[in-house]
Chain A
């Protein structure tokens, strides 16, 4: 079975600091995708960023970037200049192939709290 590991159940970070959320995964698939989602206390799942396994460059979306190290099977999320509104649960997820058509396997999440 696919396994996604997020080793930080909770993190406290000062506002304006950069944050790195860890994610490692298990796979023998040649092609796959990696996703990060944010879930604020209101409960909705918000897509943040995607990395394809064959993408040559690390993905970036505004303040979010993905530190993709394929050989180490890691896909850490980096949030630059954290804001109070970044406080939320963050989930790493993996698809079986490049897209998400067969569904995603999620990690257990990291609860990030940004302190003023």
Chain B
């Protein structure tokens, strides 16, 4: 299994509070991604990174920011959580532009009350 961990694995928070989710990899892969999964929507790309300090927006980036100061860590921040951000969040990694596989982390279940 690819070495990807996500923390926390579960979190309950209140509307308006800031939340940071962490993705940590031990594979030294260049590319990292954050997706959210909601019933009836499959997975949707939030943000991705193609190197340290290089990030870009995905399909559903509003309300989220990311940072990558080290190859191994990719942080997803909800500046002011809303109930619509209740979801399961997956981190994924891949090792090159020609990679034919993205490895996924175990997911973080976030509930915003």
Contacts and interface: CB of A to CB of B under 8 A. Distances in A.
B25 interface: no
A44 B106 contact: yes
Nearest to B56: A102
A99 interface: yes
Contact of A1 (B33, B59, B90, B99): B59
Contact of A33 (B41, B42, B96, B100): B100
A78 B90 CA distance: 26
Interface in B61-113: 88, 90, 92, 94, 96-104, 106-107
Nearest to B46: A103
B104 A45 contact: yes
Interface in A7-51: 33, 35, 37, 43-45, 47, 50
Interface string B31-56: 10101000011111100101000000
Given A43-B106, A44-B107, A45-B104, A105 B45 contact: yes
A96 B102 CA distance: 14
A102 B54 CA distance: 12
Interface residues of B, number: 28
B58 interface: yes
A57 to B, nearest CB: 14
A33 B100 CA distance: 8
Contacts of B104: 37, 44-45, 47
Contacts of B101: 35, 47, 50, 100
B98 A45 contact: no
Given A44-B106, A104-B102, A99 B97 contact: yes
A105 B94 contact: no
A48 to B, nearest CB: 10
Given A91-B42, A105-B59, 13 more contacts: A35-B101, A47-B102, A47-B103, A50-B100, A98-B100, A99-B99, A101-B31, A101-B50, A101-B97, A104-B102, A106-B35, A108-B42, A109-B42
